[in-house]
Amino acid sequence: MPTTVGSDGWGRILARSHHVKGLLRCLEGMSPCVWNVRHGEMHHVRLVRKSATCPPSGWFVPDGACALCARAPSTGEGPVRMGICVEVQVLGAIAGDVIGSVYEWHNTKSLDFELFSEQSRFTDDTVLTVAVADSILSGAPLVELLRQYVLAYPRRGYGGYFRKWVESGSTSPYGSWGNGASMRVSPVGFAYPTLEETIARAAESAAVTHNHEQAVTAACAVAAAIFLARTGVRRHEIQRELETRFGYDLSVSLEEIRPSYTFDVSSAGSVPQALRAFLESTSFEDAIRRAVSIGGDSDTIACITGGVAHAAYGTVPPEIRSAVLARLDPRMIEVVEAFSQRYGVSA
């Protein structure tokens, strides 16, 4: 939900999706209350207050001249004071993908690089992550949603075998050992109440396409890392658990990995490195920078690291979140917002 707020506290909100159910809430005893805003409507708003429960950009109250606040939808009384929550949570994996997108083909080996540029965009990692989130939310079979999302968002850098699988119409997995199942698995890490269920669901989500042991193991490790991080398990215990359960050696530092690391889309050749980037990190942004700094399949590595880092640090920083949201499609934002609300993925 893009906003600009001037020094006088007045700004504008442009509705980008057909309705923003869940984003608009009445203040002062009228919550919860849903307003439908038509696509393309512009509303004039004024920042009036922030509270502990508000997202960083706060709550906005429409101008009295705005049709939105002229009447309360439930009582017909008006004008009412009304707040608009303008921040949508974004999954850390998506932030990692968008930031890494420009470095996949122009690797950097530095921690000091521009997070966003005109070329930054969401790629296959984001599309398929949203498909997994949608499947968890709706209960629709993942195999169908993967295909639907690829058709809805073509030309986003899908792997060759995966694209062929989509085009073939097959509902059988194709034995891939690539990192595609790990890059899309992060919603699984946020959605289930126990580690065992998380791992079981991660294996299922991988196996619809990537039914190679290497790929299934990696997807399970990523989901497990997210579960452990979001439930407050300490860093060194997460490392030990991942090494014990999944057989990874996560002791090799990025400093050792970086000089000789090159493009590698295998699960075994990219997922441990992504997990290591998280283990060495000091903040969400630092985790993403470390992930990109080894080079290779940067958007996917940063996507995997980003999911775990989001779970560990509890949030995606607001300035990163808004830069990512500005590059997402409204339909994706709705799914991500619904998922975040359902599973308490928040700041």
Site for Mg ion in 80-139 (CB under 5 A): 123-125
CB 129 to Mg ion: min, Å: 10
Contact 219, 211 (CB under 8 A): no
157 lines the binding site for Mg ion (CB under 5 A): yes
Q: Which is nearer to Mg ion, 239 or 267 (CB)?
A: 267
Q: Which is nearer to Mg ion, 124 or 337 (CB)?
A: 124
CB 153 to Mg ion: min, Å: 12
Tokens of 128: 């398929």
Contact 268, 218 (CB under 8 A): yes
Tokens of 314: 């509890």
Q: Which is nearer to Mg ion, 157 or 314 (CB)?
A: 157
Q: Which is nearer to Mg ion, 198 or 270 (CB)?
A: 270
Q: Which stretch binds Mg ion (CB under 5 A): 82-90, 131-139, 150-158, 275-283?
A: 150-158
The closest of 291, 287, 292, 336 to 311, measured between CA atoms, is 287
HEC per residue, 35-90: CCCCCCCEEEEEEEECCCCCCCCCEEEECCCCHHHCCCCCCCCCCCCEEEECCCCC
CB 92 to Mg ion: min, Å: 15
Q: Tell me the per-residue interface mask from 284 to 313 with Mg ion, x by CB under 5 A, - otherwise.
A: ---------------x--------------
Within the chain, what is the greatest distance between any pair of CA atoms? 67
CA R_g for the chain: 21
CB 2 to Mg ion: min, Å: 25
Residues that bind Mg ion in the complex, under the rule CB under 5 A:
123-125, 157, 299
